[in-house]
Structure 1
Amino acid sequence: MTIVKKAAPATGRWSTARERRFLDHLAASSNVAASERVAMVPAGSAYRRRTQSAEFRVAWEVALREGYTRLELALLQRAIEGTPVIMIDRQGKTRKTREYSERLALNLLAQHREAVAATGAIDADESAKARLARKLEEMADRLDAEEAAAAAANAPAAAPESSDAA
């Protein structure tokens, strides 16, 4: 019996094509090690490249944001639509149903609430009517300030007093 050793995946230097493959896979998976394998670059080299190239670092961050957005959307879809489950009763009869994870839904809601609060978009203690009134008041104040500035700019300049020496 002959034992055949699997060859390690060919890894090489970074190139534009390998960088693109790495970033595409990173955006799809959010997994650096797997992305390095797909791009066929040495393990750990992406971290070094990220510290050495500002352009690569920015592309990496964009790819990771995209990856996490995909993950969040998949989790959101699962929380809303549930997960398909096949139930088998005692008589062996099967029926399809869906399970919904309350834990997943609550975690997503908490994260959404934190994100909204971080932007200052909503104050939980302020009613919608109060927020609207505050916004309208801010707009009125801005308009008054703009009108005052325009009026000051259009006002005729006072003529300098002349002192005629006789």
Structure 2
Amino acid sequence: MRNRADKPAPRQWQRTFLEALSETSNVSASAKRAHVPPREAYRLRRCDSDFADAWRAALFEGYANLEMEVLGYLRDPAPKHRMDVASALRLLAAHKDTIAGERATRANVSAAEVRASIERKVEIFRRQIANRREPDADEH
């Protein structure tokens, strides 16, 4: 159902936006998919606590998906595609407070404990990358 301005009905664009946000963790791309300006999504997040909660949950899901994609990529001996792992790790590190807050809410643990857990995972990813880059000493 469309409204008079031929925009998606409010509930429809919100659902589309949140689904895209959980897939991409990207507000601009999600707004584009939902056919709304990003500023409208940000406005609604400020004004509607239910939408703000759903936004946080969608971002959490998106970051969890990214974390699993990075882990899968690093564990695959012959990945089918290239991944910018450094950028993915920077994104996860930049949003560790968001992730920590949502995990803490879901698990009823402190944000500091969740942040520490994320930092440990990022460090493991970094070591795996470094190990991939180092040639085997036996080959020389």
Residue in 2 aligned with 1:134? none
Q: Displacement of 1:84 after TM fit?
A: 3.5
Q: Displacement of 1:44 after TM fit?
A: 1.6
Deviating 4+ runs (over 3 angstroms): 10-14, 82-85, 101-104
Residue in 2 aligned with 1:19? 14
2:29 is the counterpart of 1:42: no
Q: TM-score, with normalisation over the residues of structure 1? A: 0.45
Structure of greater Rg: 1
Choose the corresponding residue for 1:115, options 97, 114, 117: 117
Separation in structure 1 between the aligned mates of residue 33 and residue 11 of structure 2, nearest angstrom:
14
Structure 1: gaps spanning 5 or more residues: 1-9, 86-98, 119-166
AA aligned to 2:72 is Q
- Report the secondary structure of 2:38's partner residue: coil
- Determine what percentage of the aligned residue pairs are the same residue: 34
Residue in 2 aligned with 1:3? none
AA aligned to 2:116 is E
Q: Decide whether aligned partners of structure 1 residues 47 and 80 sit closer, same or farther in structure 2, where only a CA change above 3 A counts.
A: same
Residue in 2 aligned with 1:61? 56
Separation in structure 1 between the aligned mates of residue 85 and residue 10 of structure 2, nearest angstrom:
45
Separation in structure 2 between the aligned mates of residue 38 and residue 102 of structure 1, nearest angstrom:
25
What does the per-residue CA deviation read over 1:5-44, in whole Å, with 9 as the maximum and x for residues that have no partner? xxxxx97366111100000000000000011011011232
Separation in structure 2 between the aligned mates of residue 22 and residue 61 of structure 1, nearest angstrom:
12
Separation in structure 1 between the aligned mates of residue 85 and residue 34 of structure 2, nearest angstrom:
38
2:75 is the counterpart of 1:80: yes
AA aligned to 1:22 is F
Please tell me whether the aligned partners of residues 19 and 39 of structure 1 are also in contact (alpha carbons under 8 angstroms): yes
Q: Higher strand proportion, which one?
A: 1
Structure 2: gaps spanning 5 or more residues: 91-95, 97-113, 121-140
Q: TM-score, with normalisation over the residues of structure 2? A: 0.53
Separation in structure 2 between the aligned mates of residue 84 and residue 117 of structure 1, nearest angstrom:
25
Q: Higher helix proportion, which one?
A: 2
